[in-house]
Structure 1
Amino acid sequence: MRVLHIISTLAEGGAEHQLRLLVRRLPYDCEVVTLSRPGAVAAALRADGTTVHEVITTRDRDLSAVIKLRRLIRLGHFDVVHTHLYRACVQGLFAARLAGVRHVVATEYHLGGDGGARALYLIGERLGRLTIAASEPIAGRLRALGVPDERITVIPKAIDPAEFRYDPALRAAARARLGIGPGVRVIGGVGRLEPGKRFDRLIRAVGEVPEAILLLVGDGSARPALERLAVIEGVADRVTFAGAVGHAREMLCAMDVFASPSDEDTFGLVVLEALASGLPALYAVCPPLEELAAARSAVGGAERLSPHDPESLPRKLRTELLCFEERRGARLPARSAGERYDAAELAASVGQLYERMAGGRSPLRRGTREQSSIARPNEGKRRRRRRAT
Structure 2
Amino acid sequence: MRALHIITGLGVGGAEQQLRLLLRHLPVDCDVVTLTNPGPVAEGLGADGVRVVHLGMRGNRDLAALPRLVKVIRSGGYDLVHTHLYRACVYGRPAARAAGVRAVVATEHSLGDSQMEGRRLTAGVRALYLASERLGSSTVAVSPTVADRLRRWGVPAPRIEVVPNGIDVERFRFDPERRERTRRRLGLPRDAFVVGGVGRLARGKRFDVLVRALARLPEDHWLLLVGGGPEEHVLRRTAGEAGVAGRVLFTGERPAVPDGSPGPDLPSLTSAMDLFTSPSAEEAFGLAAVEALASGLPVLYASCPAIEDLPPAASRGARRVRGGPEAYARAITEVRAAGPVPRTAAEAARHYSITRSTARLMDVYTAAVAGTPTSPAP
**Shorter-chain TM-score category?**
0.7 to 0.9
In structure 1, the residue matched to 2:208 is: 200
Paired AA for residue 108 in structure 2: E
Q: Is the 8 A contact 1:3 1:31 kept in 2?
A: yes
Paired with 2:79 and 2:338, the residues of 1 have a C-alpha distance of 54
Paired AA for residue 354 in structure 1: Y
Paired with 2:80 and 2:155, the residues of 1 have a C-alpha distance of 21
In structure 2, the residue matched to 1:357 is: 368
In structure 2, the residue matched to 1:335 is: 346
Matched, 1:100 2:115: no
Secondary structure at the aligned position of 1:9 is classed as coil
Paired with 1:184 and 1:338, the residues of 2 have a C-alpha distance of 26
Q: Name which one, 1 or 2, has greater alpha-carbon Rg.
A: 1
Q: Quote the RMSD (CA, aligned, Å).
A: 2.3
Matched, 1:142 2:150: yes
- Structure 1 residue 107: Cα displacement: 1.0
In structure 2, the residue matched to 1:109 is: 109
**1:150-169 map, 5 Å:** 150-169=158-177
Q: Is the 8 A contact 2:36 2:55 kept in 1?
A: yes
**1:7-26 map, 5 Å:** 7-26=7-26
Equivalent residue in structure 1 for 2:141, among 129, 133, 139: 133
Secondary structure at the aligned position of 1:303 is classed as strand
Matched, 1:224 2:233: yes
Matched, 1:299 2:315: yes
Matched, 1:239 2:248: yes
**1:37-116 map, 5 Å:** 37-111=37-111, 112=116, 113-116=121-124
- Structure 1 residue 169: Cα displacement: 4.3
Paired with 2:17 and 2:247, the residues of 1 have a C-alpha distance of 31
- Structure 1 residue 115: Cα displacement: 3.1
Matched, 1:320 2:363: no
Paired AA for residue 337 in structure 1: A
In structure 2, the residue matched to 1:260 is: 278
Paired with 1:198 and 1:60, the residues of 2 have a C-alpha distance of 26
C-alpha distance after superposition, 1:343-371 (max 9, x if no partner) = 1121111111111222332234xxx227x
- Structure 1 residue 168: Cα displacement: 3.7
Paired with 1:153 and 1:270, the residues of 2 have a C-alpha distance of 22
Normalised by the size of structure 2, how large is the TM-score? 0.87
- Structure 1 residue 296: Cα displacement: 4.8
Paired with 1:310 and 1:38, the residues of 2 have a C-alpha distance of 36
- Structure 1 residue 97: Cα displacement: 0.8
In structure 1, the residue matched to 2:298 is: 280
In structure 2, the residue matched to 1:2 is: 2
Secondary structure at the aligned position of 2:313 is classed as coil
Note the residue ranges of structure 1 that are not aligned, 5 or more in a row: 371-389
Which contiguous aligned blocks of 4+ residues in structure 1 show a shift greater than 6 angstroms?
Answer: none
C-alpha distance after superposition, 1:266-304 (max 9, x if no partner) = 422211111111222222222232333xx3524322222
C-alpha distance after superposition, 1:23-51 (max 9, x if no partner) = 11111111111111322222222222222
In structure 2, the residue matched to 1:378 is: none
Paired AA for residue 241 in structure 1: F
Paired with 2:312 and 2:251, the residues of 1 have a C-alpha distance of 37
Q: Is the 8 A contact 1:268 1:285 kept in 2?
A: yes
Matched, 1:250 2:268: yes
Paired AA for residue 291 in structure 2: E
Equivalent residue in structure 2 for 1:179, among 163, 183, 187: 187
C-alpha distance after superposition, 1:297-320 (max 9, x if no partner) = 243222222x26964422332233
Paired AA for residue 47 in structure 1: A
Matched, 1:118 2:126: yes
Secondary structure at the aligned position of 1:153 is classed as strand
Note the residue ranges of structure 2 that are not aligned, 5 or more in a row: 257-265
Paired with 1:298 and 1:139, the residues of 2 have a C-alpha distance of 21
Q: Is the 8 A contact 1:272 1:336 kept in 2?
A: no
Name the CA shift for 1:339/1:275 in 2 (closer, same or farther; >3 Å). closer
Paired with 2:353 and 2:155, the residues of 1 have a C-alpha distance of 27
C-alpha distance after superposition, 1:148-178 (max 9, x if no partner) = 2221122222222122222344434433443
Normalised by the size of structure 1, how large is the TM-score? 0.85
Name the CA shift for 1:310/1:189 in 2 (closer, same or farther; >3 Å). closer
Q: Is the 8 A contact 2:103 2:371 kept in 1?
A: no
